[in-house]
Each structure stands twice: as structure tokens, then as C-alpha cells.
């Protein structure tokens, strides 16, 4: 119609197409309904946890992550600046909250792969009757902290708004303080900024009682806040994890350890332990086996980084001379043969 010079409204064109059977109405996506909810009543009843990648130190440091926890009832905050948003760094941040306030009743996070997994339960998990969990989820289960997953960013709007405020206020505070390293930034957060935040923005809870539970003797944070993997102990009492071989000292070897199924435990302090039937055996790294050198001592430039092919021995084939009987025609050879004297055989 535009080529013919006719101008009609959009609604008129829609009616014509609908009458001709050419119009298909688009289905509108159902919008999620987000309802406001009041704060929780007790301090420690619900704690939100999330991370925010940002240039927190502007151009002085490469982009890093702020891992933070905020209480839903009081808006008390604790967090750390880290290079990578990893399982170990999230466990360290959770450890800081646990050492200051205790164990909250529930932890509210998103559905990041650090908190939820889609893998099938392993053999050990099936024997224990536990679902497949991440390292962070296992630590929460051992601490008896309920985990709640947020289905949308709006569901954890309190910590999302926190990051929006910190990206404006915290960046300026650290710029004025002349902070240019992550170590100095974390000291500034712990000593100066978080106490200021609690005094300025924290609110009293609806109920004065604290819902945090103290850490019991059985809650050893060094063992709980760790990364564990199941491995089979070799005949020389060693285990392999990520290409590194770890061995048990001779004085720590116990019965039934050889060929058994055990767990390697890497703690936040960098130490490695072997967990076997409730016992913790320290592990020490084993040096890599030396590679055999070539006979000449140096490899040719074309073989650097590649394994040389073994040299095959050339077999010496026998070539008969020209007068060999094999080279004569078979008829001539047969007629030249003399018949044996039968009389001599009698």
C-alpha cells in the first residue's frame, strides 16, 4: 500500500488483515508479580548473600568482586573484596559472619552454580541418602543453616540496592582514603566502613532477641568450610587431585587405607588432609617423576613439546645370486636332475 501511495492507520490495517485471516495476535508473556514483604522480625532469621563485579578501586586495581552479606531485619552488612568469585572466597566471607554473629537460621542466595548443581548424586551421596550438593551447600548443611534460592533479582532486592549504594558511596570513600590494594581495602572495610555503615544505616529489629545460634564444639570451621573430593587411595598410599599427587606420611598410615575410598580436604589455609573413617591424615605433595632424557641430551627443534617416535630397525633381505637355482627355469632344472640308480638301493 505504501508503494501505491495509500496511507491508512495501523489499526485499520490490522482490521483488514484480521478479516483476511492474515493477522496472528502475539501472546503476551505473563508478567511476574512481585509483592512487597515486610522485614523479618529477628536479627539472624534471614541473611542475604551475593557478589557484585565492579571497578571498586577504579583504575588503581583491575575489576574485582565484592562478596557481601546483609541481614534482612537490621541491614547489618559484612563483606570482602576479592579477585575472583570462587567457592573458597565465598566460604571465607561466610566465615567472617559466623565468627562475628553466629549461625543464622537461613541464607538467601541466587541460583549461581556455587550454590546449586544439576549433577547426579555420587555413590557416596547415594549411600548416605543425601541429594547432590555443591561445596557451599554441603557446608551449610553441616552448619544446620537452611538455604533459600531466589528466583529473580527482585526477590533479593535488599542486597541489590545495597550494591547500588556501595558502588557510589564506597568507591568515593576508598578514593579519598588513597586505597590502591585489595588488602588495604579489606582492612578499611573491617575497621572503618562497616562500623560506619551499621551506625548510619542499620535499623533495630522488630524483636529484640537474636536468632543467631552459637557455634558448637562439633562445628570446626576449618573442616566444614573446605573443599572436599572423593578419591581412591593407591597402593603406595597416595592420591591424585588436579594433576598433583599427594602422599600420606609413613607414621600416619593406618590399617585398611590402601585401596580404600577417602576424601581429600583442602582447607582455607591451604593445607590438604585425607579424611578416612573419621580420621584426618595430613597430606604432603609428592615431587613429579623425572622424565627420561633423550640419548643426545637435547631434542631437535622440531620435536620440542612432542614425544619422539621410536626408531624401527630395517631388516636385511637376502638377495640370491644370478646363478642360484631359484633363478633358473623350473623345466631346465627338472630335466637336469639325474635319476638315482635303483640297483644301488637293493
Mean pLDDT by 10 residues, the chain (346 residues): 69 83 70 76 95 94 95 95 95 96 95 88 81 92 94 86 94 94 96 94 92 92 93 92 91 90 93 91 86 57 56 67 74 53 53
User: Which of helix, strand or coil describes residue 19?
Assistant: helix
What separation, in Å, do the N-terminal and C-terminal C-alpha atoms of the chain show?
Answer: 124
Nearest Cα neighbor of 154 from 187, 117, 194, 108 is 108
Please state, in angstroms and rounded to a whole number, the distance separating the CA atoms of residues 340 and 74: 123
C-alpha 318/C-alpha 323 separation (Å) is 15
Give residue 121's pLDDT. Answer: 84
3-state helix, strand, coil in the chain (%, to 5): 30, 20, 50
pLDDT at 125: 79
pLDDT of residue 103: 96
The predicted pLDDT at position 342 comes to 54
What would the grid cell of residue 54 be? 565492579
Residues 6+ positions from 276 with CB-CB distance below 8 Å: 233, 254, 257, 260, 262, 263
Rg of the chain on CA atoms, in Å? 38
> What confidence score (pLDDT) does residue 345 get?
47
Q: Domains of the chain (ranges plus CATH)?
A: 47-201 (3.30.420.10), 222-285 (no CATH)
pTM listed for this prediction: 0.72
Q: Are 162 and 170 in contact, with CB atoms under 8 Å apart? A: no
Residue 59: predicted pLDDT: 92
Amino acid at each position: 500500500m505504501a508503494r501505491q501511495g495509500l496511507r491508512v492507520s495501523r489499526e485499520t490495517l490490522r482490521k483488514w488483515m484480521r478479516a483476511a485471516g492474515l493477522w496472528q495476535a502475539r501472546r503476551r508473556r505473563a508478567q511476574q508479580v512481585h509483592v512487597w514483604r515486610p522485614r523479618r522480625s529477628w536479627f539472624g532469621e534471614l541473611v542475604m548473600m551475593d557478589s557484585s563485579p565492579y571497578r571498586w578501586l577504579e583504575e588503581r586495581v583491575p575489576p574485582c568482586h565484592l562478596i557481601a552479606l546483609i541481614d534482612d531485619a537490621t541491614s547489618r552488612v559484612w563483606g570482602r573484596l576479592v579477585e575472583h568469585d570462587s567457592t573458597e572466597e565465598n566460604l571465607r566471607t561466610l566465615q567472617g559472619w559466623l565468627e562475628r554473629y553466629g549461625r543464622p537460621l537461613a541464607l538467601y542466595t541466587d541460583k549461581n552454580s556455587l550454590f546449586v548443581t544439576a549433577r547426579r548424586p555420587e555413590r557416596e551421596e547415594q549411600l548416605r541418602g543425601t541429594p547432590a550438593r555443591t561445596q557451599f551447600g554441603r557446608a551449610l548443611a553441616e552448619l544446620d543453616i537452611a538455604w533459600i534460592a531466589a528466583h529473580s533479582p527482585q526477590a533479593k532486592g535488599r542486597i541489590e540496592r545495597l550494591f547500588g549504594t556501595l558502588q557510589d558511596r564506597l568507591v568515593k570513600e576508598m578514593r579519598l582514603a588513597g586505597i590502591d590494594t585489595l588488602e588495604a581495602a579489606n582492612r578499611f572495610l573491617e575497621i572503618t566502613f562497616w562500623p560506619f555503615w551499621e551506625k548510619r544505616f542499620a535499623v533495630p529489629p522488630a524483636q529484640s532477641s537474636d536468632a543467631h545460634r552459637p557455634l558448637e564444639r562439633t562445628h570446626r570451621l576449618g573442616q566444614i568450610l573446605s573443599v572436599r573430593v572423593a578419591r581412591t587411595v593407591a597402593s603406595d598410599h597416595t592420591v591424585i587431585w588436579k594433576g598433583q599427587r599427594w602422599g600420606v606420611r609413613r607414621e600416619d598410615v593406618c590399617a585398611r587405607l590402601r585401596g580404600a575410598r577417602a576424601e581429600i580436604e583442602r582447607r582455607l589455609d591451604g593445607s590438604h588432609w585425607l579424611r578416612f573413617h573419621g580420621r584426618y591424615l595430613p597430606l604432603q605433595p609428592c615431587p613429579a617423576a623425572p622424565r627420561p632424557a633423550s640419548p643426545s641430551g637435547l631434542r631437535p627443534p622440531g620435536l620440542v613439546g612432542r614425544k619422539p617416535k621410536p626408531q624401527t630397525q630395517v631388516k636385511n633381505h637376502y638377495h640370491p645370486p644370478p646363478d642360484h637355482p631359484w633363478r633358473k627355469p623350473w623345466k631346465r632344472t627338472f630335466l637336469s636332475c639325474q635319476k638315482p640308480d635303483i640297483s644301488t638301493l637293493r
